[in-house]
Structure 1
Amino acid sequence: MQLNSNFKRNAPTQLLINFNCSAEQLYYDDLPYHPYCTDNFKTGSYQLRRDRAIEKSIIQHNPNHLIRCLVFDMDKPKGANAYWNAQDHWKDVGAPEPNWIVINPVNGHAHYYYMLTTPVPITDNSRIKPRKYIAAIQRALRIQLQSDIGYSDHLAKNPIHEKWTALVTRHETYSLQELEQYVDLKTLVKTPKRESEGLGRHCILFDELRWWAYSRVESAKQNMSFEQWLNSLSTKATSLNTFNTPLAYSSINSTAKSIARWTWTEYTGTGTSKNRGRDTNKNHQLELTDKQTYAAIKTAEQKVDSSITQIKNAILILEKTGCKVTKPAIKKLTGKSLSTIKRYWKIGVH
């Protein structure tokens, strides 16, 4: 697929911006409508409308449920000689040519962008094989490129921002089959689940959470509201996010919402578990007002559990990345209000 400067995604009018460069146009049009972005990782990331987020130097490159490009974080590999540079590294290791090479002029570190001809959806309605296929290709390329395995794959250098030196090295997008020609998927060694990186984490979380949901949704429909069911999946997704490099909260929450909606409205299986509802035999005997009160209490309890889990995981992420654990930093990661964080801080959640 040749990039076209007149190409337009079906986007709201206020989000459309015209670029003279076809590569810049495709990059911008493929961004999420409200991506996370920042100019400084230490102050955290936040969501802005796409036409405003594009002014930030760091930005979310893929929508939560769609992989439109693969990005690799390129630091100088161990053992590389003094003449190493990100611009030529892909040639030295026999990797495919990136569409974008976005270089930090201060330290020479870079992000490689590989734009996909056909985006890969990662929702409960999407097929599992393509998700696992792209995850395997990403992992194989990461090994070949010797890129940073700790990269979270959520935010990347914005190639349109003046802070970086951005090079357009290829104008044609890639199919997954074309990328596979540069790697050997048969030689990939299986890794422990919690040591997975990149898109592999999405596949693992998605599979673990959906199977957990399948066996409980029928009982949930009898004893919970949809909001309670969603809270329950969000809490479970947070507890499963124990990877060496944890997924971003926006990613796990979107996965939880996708599975919650689909299982609530579409799933018809019976699962393998027995009735797991809370006080099932007692609930059906309550009056409507009592049921509503009981449901409200349980919803509040679930929100408390979810908040505590998210705050604890945010603290772990800050500690792992060497950042100072502060209430504002936790607020940026979790989206919780400072008053909520202070409330649980006082009871020793940290």
Structure 2
Amino acid sequence: MIEQFIDSLPEKVRCTDSFENGTKHRKKDKALSFPYIEHNQLYKKYIAIDVDMPASAFLWEKHGLPPPTFIVVNPKNSHCHYLWQLRKPVIYTEGGRRKPQQFYENVDCSLTRSLPGADPAYVGKFIKNPLSAFWKTIRHNAEYDLEDFQEYIDTTPIRKRQNLVWDALGRNNTLFNNLRFWAYPTVKKYLNNHAGFISAVEEQAFEINSQFISRSDKGSLLHKEVLSTATSVSSYTWRNRFGDFRRKGIMQLPEDMPQKQKESLGAHYSHKVRSQSLKERIIQAATELKAQGTPITQKSVSIRAECSIDSVKRNWNEVGKQFNLYA
């Protein structure tokens, strides 16, 4: 089971020893020494549940659930992460089928409902590393098909939470608007902790995304879409953390300036800001792709930066120079 767990991870794994210090992609062999790691979000081999209750290592048995493959126990408070290993991973790439994804999400929700103390806001992204000496780990030689869980739990989907302000334009807009309005006041708590703020925004983004499971026929957004939105929101909010997040009067034009001249100057300024902002997003997207070990292509950058292929093409020479794509 240990070998399969290691094999399920990507070559570069996000990890940390404390979320206050932020997270970082590291090579797999180094990442496995950290207490917290991100298990594969594109090929989900494990169902992860966070049980925030003391003495919860054998709670699964009391409630008639199948034995988790790994029970990772915090020795300080005896809270646990349960990890059930699947025989076949559920694919969450663009080519992944919605039906098995929905089945996976239903099982995840049902397991959470079945366990007292299980955190309904936990999105199963970062887990306590079962190989870390920081925790105590109980192992069972068990793996499952999703259908196996139907013998133990009711996998009928239900609504987990109802606190989203839904945008009629869809999930991406709903995520963006709910996340940014959450981030604006929250950044005041992290004025001297940039890494901590980034981690907090990402966690909130994935928590919002988890609510799409029961509120949209299309289910949750892809991992990369959520991460891209989180990056955009955290970057903008951090740059403006000492302001009031409004652009009114940003050019500080004289009050007696004719309105037509103000409009002309404003249009020129807005175009300049938008162009620069788009270029920054494209460069940032390429930087993140490189850090993840993902090939930097015009298509991958456009998806990551959430912009059109044509916009990427207009800035492609700059990307090529900065990342030596043609060396």
Alpha-carbon distance in 1 for matches of 2:162, 2:280: 28
Tell me how far 1:238 sits from its aligned partner: 4.0
What's the counterpart of residue 50 of structure 2? 73
- Aligned counterparts, 1:6-17, within 5 A: none
Q: Count how many residue pairs are aligned between Structure 1 and Structure 2.
A: 205
Deviations 1:276-297 (A, max 9, x none): xxxxxxxxxxxxxxxxxx9997
Alpha-carbon distance in 2 for matches of 1:179, 1:194: 29
Alpha-carbon distance in 1 for matches of 2:125, 2:227: 18
What amino acid does structure 2 have at the position aligned with 1:32? Answer: P
Tell me how far 1:56 sits from its aligned partner: 0.6
- Aligned counterparts, 1:74-89, within 5 A: 74-76=51-53, 85-89=55-59
What's the counterpart of residue 11 of structure 1? none
What amino acid does structure 1 have at the position aligned with 2:114? Answer: Q
What's the counterpart of residue 300 of structure 1? 276
- Aligned counterparts, 1:28-47, within 5 A: 28-47=6-25
- Cα pair distance change 1:241/1:123, threshold 3 Å: farther
What's the counterpart of residue 205 of structure 2? 246
- Cα pair distance change 1:306/1:74, threshold 3 Å: farther
- Aligned counterparts, 1:158-237, within 5 A: 158-169=129-140, 171-186=141-156, 188-191=157-160, 208-209=171-172
Deviations 1:185-222 (A, max 9, x none): 23x43345656xxxxxxxx9xx734xx8xxxxxxxxxx
| Equivalent position SS for 1:35 | strand
Identify unmatched segments of 5+ residues in structure 2.
Answer: 183-202, 209-220, 229-269, 284-327
What's the counterpart of residue 50 of structure 1? 28
Which residue, out of 128, 139, 160, partners 1:157?
128
Alpha-carbon distance in 2 for matches of 1:245, 1:54: 25
Which residue, out of 115, 120, 128, partners 2:90?
120
Deviations 1:225-262 (A, max 9, x none): xxxxxxxxxxx86446579943189x96613799xxxx
Alpha-carbon distance in 1 for matches of 2:227, 2:35: 29
Tell me how far 1:302 sits from its aligned partner: 3.6
- Cα pair distance change 1:28/1:253, threshold 3 Å: closer
TM-score by length of 2: 0.54
Alpha-carbon distance in 1 for matches of 2:31, 2:206: 21
Tell me how far 1:41 sits from its aligned partner: 1.7
Identify unmatched segments of 5+ residues in structure 1.
Answer: 1-22, 77-83, 196-203, 213-235, 259-293, 308-350
Contact preservation (8 Å) 2:68, 2:142: no
| Equivalent position SS for 2:171 | helix
Alpha-carbon distance in 2 for matches of 1:253, 1:295: 31
Tell me how far 1:161 sits from its aligned partner: 0.9
- Cα pair distance change 1:93/1:239, threshold 3 Å: same
| Equivalent position SS for 1:86 | coil
Which residue, out of 75, 78, 82, partners 1:108?
78
Alpha-carbon distance in 1 for matches of 2:227, 2:158: 32
- Cα pair distance change 1:257/1:126, threshold 3 Å: farther
| Equivalent position SS for 2:122 | coil
Contact preservation (8 Å) 2:57, 2:78: no
What amino acid does structure 2 have at the position aligned with 1:50? Answer: K
RMSD: 3.6
Deviations 1:289-313 (A, max 9, x none): xxxxx99974423467999xxxxxx
Q: Tell me the percent identity.
A: 24
What amino acid does structure 2 have at the position aligned with 1:172? Answer: A
Matched, 1:145 2:115: yes
